[in-house]
Amino acid sequence: MKMKSKTVYGLIIYFLLISFNLINLWQNLALAQNPMPIPKVIVIDPGHGGENQGAKHPSHIGKYEKDYTLLIAKLLEEKLLKKGFVVWMTRQSDRMVSLQERVQFANEKNADLMVSIHLNSSKNPGPKGHEFYALSEEHIDDSIIRLHIFLENQTQIIKSLINQAPQNKDEEKAIEAVLRLKHNVSVKQSETLAQVLSNSFLNIKTIPSKGVKKKDFTVLMGALMPVVVCEVGFINHPKEGIYITSTDGMEKIANQIKNGVETFLKTISK
């Protein structure tokens, strides 16, 4: 009986993987005949909001990190919309959104990638530079636990991924295996996205690079798409803090994130 269940389980995984390939093949054939490609879905996450203000601006009275993450996000949204992407923002105004809600939102939108925008700060002013964070491999299991919590009673997400809801325990297991696969591919791709964004920021000469790092930030956990935390510069550095919150600085930052997103999507579609 156990063997039979294992065989059924194996067959379902096989069937699902074949179905994914057939869907990809169908999409490629449709693309060859149809000049209009399916638009990619981008989720922009302006860090902080509401009571969660983030770091205080050292010289702009009453202004916090949350204000600038939203301004940069809105500039980025405009640029990505102009390029034909479908864009969703985790917040459009100064409101509190939990970190888990942000990731869950991106999963529900079936996003192709998510960028979370932050301005860094240090205990004492001095450090400067941009850095990009992807989820570290040692936290993959924790991230999958978070994903399962998200997916409880979320059959619409599963439906959007495989076009049907699980009918029985074996199908549930098979779908879980596919989700784990998709999750692990997304974690790998997050690293590539972080690297591409970091390279793109080298074009902003006034902000030095602190490179790509890996961490278990909550906003990186449980995502079904590549996701990166962009620390675009230090808000409490006397010069950098002024630059990254200036009209010119925010414009350049949004532009380089847009360029990085485009380069990344070309890289993974090859």
The residues that touch Zn ion, with contacts defined as CB under 5 A, are 47, 54, 118
Q: What is the closest distance, in whole angstroms, from the C-beta atom of residue 54 to Zn ion in the complex?
A: 5
For 51-99, give the DSSP string: TB--SBPSSSTT-BHHHHHHHHHHHHHHHHHHTT-EEEES-SSS----H
When the beta carbons of 51 and 152 are compared against Zn ion, the nearer one is 51
What whole-number distance in Å separates Cα of residue 174 and Cα of residue 133? Answer: 31
Strands 86-89 and 113-120 come out as unpaired
Q: What is the closest distance, in whole angstroms, from the C-beta atom of residue 52 to Zn ion in the complex?
A: 9
Burial of 14 (0-12, 13-18, 19+ CB in 10 A): exposed
When the beta carbons of 57 and 118 are compared against Zn ion, the nearer one is 118
Token pair of 49 as six digits: 């909001």
Which residue's Cβ has the minimum distance to Zn ion?
A: 118
Q: What is the closest distance, in whole angstroms, from the C-beta atom of residue 65 to Zn ion in the complex?
A: 5
When the beta carbons of 85 and 234 are compared against Zn ion, the nearer one is 234
When the beta carbons of 44 and 144 are compared against Zn ion, the nearer one is 44
Token pair of 187 as six digits: 């974690």
When the beta carbons of 47 and 241 are compared against Zn ion, the nearer one is 47
Q: What is the closest distance, in whole angstroms, from the C-beta atom of residue 61 to Zn ion in the complex?
A: 20
What whole-number distance in Å separates Cα of residue 156 and Cα of residue 177? Answer: 17
Q: What is the closest distance, in whole angstroms, from the C-beta atom of residue 118 to Zn ion in the complex?
A: 4
215: phi then psi, degrees, rounded to nearest 5: -155, 175
